[in-house]
Structures are given as structure tokens and as C-alpha cells.
Structure 1
Amino acid sequence: MANAASGMAVHDDCKLRFSELKAKRNYRFVTFKIEDQQVIIDKVGGPDKSYEDFTNSLPVDECRYAVFDFDFTTDENVQKSKIFFITWCPDTSKVRMKMVYASSKDRFKRELDGIQFELQATDPSEMSLDIVKSRAI
């Protein structure tokens, strides 16, 4: 279904993979890219992957959307998990690409029911593990 504002469709696989990440914990992360006026799956990281594996999977000069299932332990020693939606738009990516990702983000995010936190990053320091931890706790 296309979004009138951006003309962007969301492939069914995107919702399926997100649902599997959220409910079954089959994945640690899923990255998405826009191709041919549609949001599609870019990469998936298995449950054994780390946050570093995730950040290393992002291209240095192209935008991506991503969801990351962040596990942590609270001060009360309770295991918890939070799902982050991350918009990756590095400064080195093309202006048109950044505009397309920015205009399509809200529509795509609405398709993924269960997002708990959102981050936007233009360089790796804006989505460091410390930042993710501080948002989750």
C-alpha cells in the first residue's frame, strides 16, 4: 500500500521479519532499505549477533531503517528487552536519499507495531551502545 506523501510501499516481508523478531526472537536485528519505491529487507542478524555486528552491517554512505532487539539487565537484576527503531542517514549519503528516508519514516514505523524507542543517527557516535543503554533503562 503506497503512502500518498512519499509514494512508498512496504513489502510484506518487512512486517513478517519484524513480527518474528518481536514475538519469536528469531533475530537480533533487521535492516531495511528503500528500493524501487518500496521498503524491503536489507539484512537480518541472528539472535547470537551483537550490537557491534549490527552497527558494522550498516553502510557508510547509504541510509537504512533498522530494528534492534536490545537485551539488558535492570538495577534490580531483571532481564529485559526493548525494541529500537533506528533511522540511519549518514552525512555521506546523497541528499535525495536522505529526503526519501525522512519522508517515509513515519509511515514505515507505523507498520511495525511494538517499537519502544526511536533513534536517529547521522554518524556512529549518535547511536553508540551507551546511548542505547541510557534510553532503554
Structure 2
Amino acid sequence: MSNAASGMAVNDDCKLKFLELKAKRTYRFIIFKIDEKQKQVIVDKLGEPTLAYEDFAASLPADECRYAIYDFDFVTEENCQKSKIFFIAWSPDIARVRNKMLYASSKDRFKRELDGIQVELQATDPTEMGLDVIRSRAN
């Protein structure tokens, strides 16, 4: 068992689903949550490839922290189709302090387990991770 300082353990399913998103594009997004009883990060929700960014944003709880991976498709100024994998640390202002601290202390370890994250965002309210922010960070 790890102590809280080094972050929560990461369930193997998290890594598996991330690899599926990265390699096979099986999902548009994955939302992860910390299960305090199991002392590990687990998969909370999976978003089908057909879902839009709005569906992803609506899947994040308003009052609890989450980690999220979002596969963002876009077209560059040179008209090339590209995609970037975003890691979003969702930590709403109204979340409990303990909840925020738990997610903050486990973030780096969790990110290290997922190889292939291209852009990281920290968001405390939906405007900090709006589609305009995602677009500007992708280019």
C-alpha cells in the first residue's frame, strides 16, 4: 500500500483503457476517480468516440474532483487532421478540501502511469477547460 504522499495506486484498467483510447481510438474521453476504499484510481466513465466535447464536459461532477483524458480532434492551419491527448485535472472550487488535496497529491504519479499525454490542463470551473481553451492549447 502506498501512503498518500506518493499518490494513490493506479488500477490496471486505467492504463488499459488509456492505451485503447491512444492506439485504437476506442473512446473520446475517459474520466477517472479516486476510490478511497480501494486506495486507487479507477475508471469512472468512458465516452464513446461519437460523443462531443459538450458530452465530456457534462460528465464531470460539479462538486467533486476527477482526472480526465480527452482525445481532441482538430484541423491545423495547414489543413492537416490531427489529434492531441489532453489530461485535465478537474478540481472545482466547491469540492471538499480533502478531495482536492487527495487529487493534487496523486496527480503526478497518475500521469506518469499514462504514457502519451500531450497537453495538461488544470481546471477549477468549466470556463478554464472550454473548447476555446482546448483549441488554443492544441495548436
TM tier, shorter chain? over 0.9
SS in 1 for 2:63: coil
Q: Does 1:33 align with 2:20?
A: no
Q: How far has the Cα of 1:8 moved from its partner?
A: 1.2
Alignment of 1:77-92 (within 5 A): 77-92=79-94
The match for 2:46 is 44
SS in 2 for 1:106: helix
User: Whose RCO is larger (CA < 8 A, sep 6+)?
Assistant: 2
The match for 1:61 is 63
Percent sequence identity over aligned pairs: 72
- 5+ long unaligned stretches in structure 2: none
Runs of 4+ with >6 A deviation = none
SS in 1 for 2:84: strand
Q: How far has the Cα of 1:6 moved from its partner?
A: 3.7
Q: Does 1:71 align with 2:82?
A: no
Q: How far has the Cα of 1:5 moved from its partner?
A: 2.1
The match for 1:23 is 23
- 5+ long unaligned stretches in structure 1: none
The match for 1:13 is 13
C-alpha distance in 2, partners of 1:111/1:7? 12
Gap change, CA 1:119 and 1:7, over 3 Å in 2: closer
**Deviation digits for residues 30-57 of structure 1 (CA, Å, limit 9, x no counterpart):** 0000012110000000100111100000
The match for 1:110 is 112
SS in 1 for 2:102: helix
SS in 2 for 1:13: helix
**Deviation digits for residues 44-93 of structure 1 (CA, Å, limit 9, x no counterpart):** 00100111100000000000000000000001110000000000000110
C-alpha distance in 2, partners of 1:70/1:101? 23
Q: How far has the Cα of 1:4 moved from its partner?
A: 6.6
C-alpha distance in 2, partners of 1:134/1:7? 30
Q: Conserved in 2, the CA contact under 8 Å of 1:3 and 1:107?
A: no
C-alpha distance in 1, partners of 2:3/2:69? 21
Equivalent residue for 2:133, pick from 124, 131, 134: 131
